[in-house]
Amino acid sequence: MADDSDADSVIVNVTGDDNKSALFGKYELGKLLGMGAFAKVYEAVDVRTGEGVAIKVVNKKRLKEGLTAHVKREISVMRRLRHPHIVRLFEVLATKTKIYFVMELAKGGELFSRVSTNRFTENLSRKYFFQLVSAVRYCHARGVFHRDLKPENLLLDENRDLKVSDFGLSAMREQIQSDGMLHTLCGTPAYVAPELLLKKGYDGAKADIWSCGVVLFLLNAGYLPFSDPNIMGLYRKIQKARYKVPDWTSSDLHRLLRRLLEPDPDRRITVDEILKDPWFKKGIDPGEIVRTLTDDHDLEEQAKNLNAFDLISSSSSANLSGLFKNFVTPDHLEQFVSDETPGEIMGKVESVAKQMSLRIVKKTERGMKLEGPMGVVNVVVKLQRLTEELVMVEINNKQREGLVWADALRQKLRRLVNQPVYRLPAKP
């Protein structure tokens, strides 16, 4: 691997059979899975658990200013996401010359490798489209827009379930400009939405839906809806939505594709409308659709002790200066640490919610979603264990800032829940 001989590198002979060294004493690196302009991805094993992971190695020397921004954004985005159909980022490690993304290993490889050899049946296309839509809806609810959805960025795990990956071109709600639009032209030409080509601003969610439509067309047909050897010819076809659906396509799927590949973003189908579509719902367990609608995967994460990256990345002011220069990404959340048990804390949350006439929309052992007086779901309270004695309480305003009742909820919980850990005073 180029540049691995740097003096501060902790990777030794990573591609050889006699590799005996472990990355940071934690990960044994194995075969190369893929490579790009500034990063390589390796299969690895967590020496503590024996579980497989994927590690993306980014060489800082190859990062120009624009690419540095992409890496920062990818870390910031992936730390927000906990969904069964999104590749999980476990932690980020760094030396002076390299950054290491330790991620979930998708053992099934790229979806592209399967669809490039043969088209899928409608039932199999529906399975993967359902999983893709579930992940995309979750991202959009958290203010994340992928902007490069394509089969090469859709991986498969050992159970052949889909995992969305590569958030390097994604955008966050904070990047939306005063006109309510995103303005950066990005993505892969064959999958890009027509409104991006107009360079007048676009809705990130609607652009992702178009790309989902292109993916669904490819799964069913075995070829892309828009292709042309000339890039301008390709863009003209995209702008006019000129494509031909294969003869074997059912009428219901044809109708859904037409709504997905609608060139006018204001008339394009939305995610919630997709969930009600007849072709989409056929053969799908209604409970799975309800689960997608409730959007509570982050409440149902299995309890575990957090590592250092979890603590940094879940902070409301995550400073990644150990990786780059100062980089702060605000989230609308508040956190504190308690030595009470999760049961005791959740009991106090429920008691305060009843005092304030808040409706409990969903409750688990370590999480609760609350609905305010105006009937809008706004706040999630979630617990994560730090050690055997300590629990981190996270109060996350999911949709809007400045809610009086949300602020009151935070204040009441801070007073009621015991906090034995000293916290540095806020900066003036």
Mean pLDDT of 386-402: 71
pLDDT at 294 over 70: no
More confident residue, 222 or 428: 222
* Residue in this structure with the two tokens 């990644």, named with its chain if needed: 320
**pLDDT value at residue 422:** 44
What is the number of other CB atoms lying within 10 angstroms of the CB of residue 51?
A: 11
Locate 165 and state its tokens: 């990956």
Q: Residue 365's pLDDT band (boundaries 50, 70, 90)?
A: confident
Provide, rounded to the nearest whole percent, the portion of the chain with pLDDT above 90: 38
Provide, rounded to the nearest whole percent, the portion of the chain with pLDDT above 70: 79
Q: Which residue, among 77, 216, 220, has the nearest Cα to 133 in the 3D structure?
A: 216
**pLDDT value at residue 334:** 77
Domain ranges for the chain = 22-104, 109-297, 332-416
**pLDDT value at residue 303:** 47
DSSP character at residue 190? G
Q: What is the pTM of this model?
A: 0.70
Mean pLDDT of 182-199: 86
More confident residue, 252 or 92: 252
Q: Annotated catalytic, 148?
A: yes
Lowest mean pLDDT among 24-28, 189-193, 390-394: 390-394
Domains 22-104 and 332-416 belong to one CATH topology: no
**pLDDT value at residue 8:** 36
Mean pLDDT of 313-340: 54
* Contact (Cβ atoms closer than 8 angstroms) between residue 383 and residue 342: yes
For residue range 15-63, list pLDDT tens digits in order. Answer: 333 344 578 888 999 999 888 767 889 999 999 889 999 999 988 877 7
Q: What is the CATH number of domain 109-297?
A: 1.10.510.10
Q: Which amino acid belongs to residue 76? A: S
Locate 422 and state its tokens: 């000293």
**pLDDT value at residue 13:** 35
The span from the CA of 401 to the CA of 316, in Å, is 14
The secondary structure of 262-331 as a DSSP string is: -SSTTTSPPHHHHTT-HHHHTT--HHHHHHHHHT-GGGSPPP----HHHHHHTSTB---TTTSS----B-
Sheet holding 109-110, edge to edge: 109-110, 154-156, 162-164
DSSP character at residue 426? P
* Contact (Cβ atoms closer than 8 angstroms) between residue 92 and residue 44: no
Among positive and negative, which fits the CA dihedral 362, 368, 372, 377?
negative
pLDDT at 375 over 80: no
**pLDDT value at residue 332:** 60
369 strand-pairing partners: 362, 380
* Residue in this structure with the two tokens 């939505």, named with its chain if needed: 241
**pLDDT value at residue 290:** 65
Nearby residues of 108 by Cβ (< 8 Å), 6 or more positions away: 155, 156, 157, 158, 159, 160
Catalytic position from the list 17, 148, 203, 228: 148
Q: For the domain with range 332-416, which CATH number is right: 3.40.605.10, 3.30.310.80, 3.40.50.1860, 3.10.290.10?
A: 3.30.310.80
For residue range 66-91, list pLDDT tens digits in order. Answer: 567 778 778 878 887 889 999 998 88
The superfamily CATH assigns to domain 22-104 is Phosphorylase Kinase; domain 1 (3.30.200.20)
* Contact (Cβ atoms closer than 8 angstroms) between residue 185 and residue 199: yes
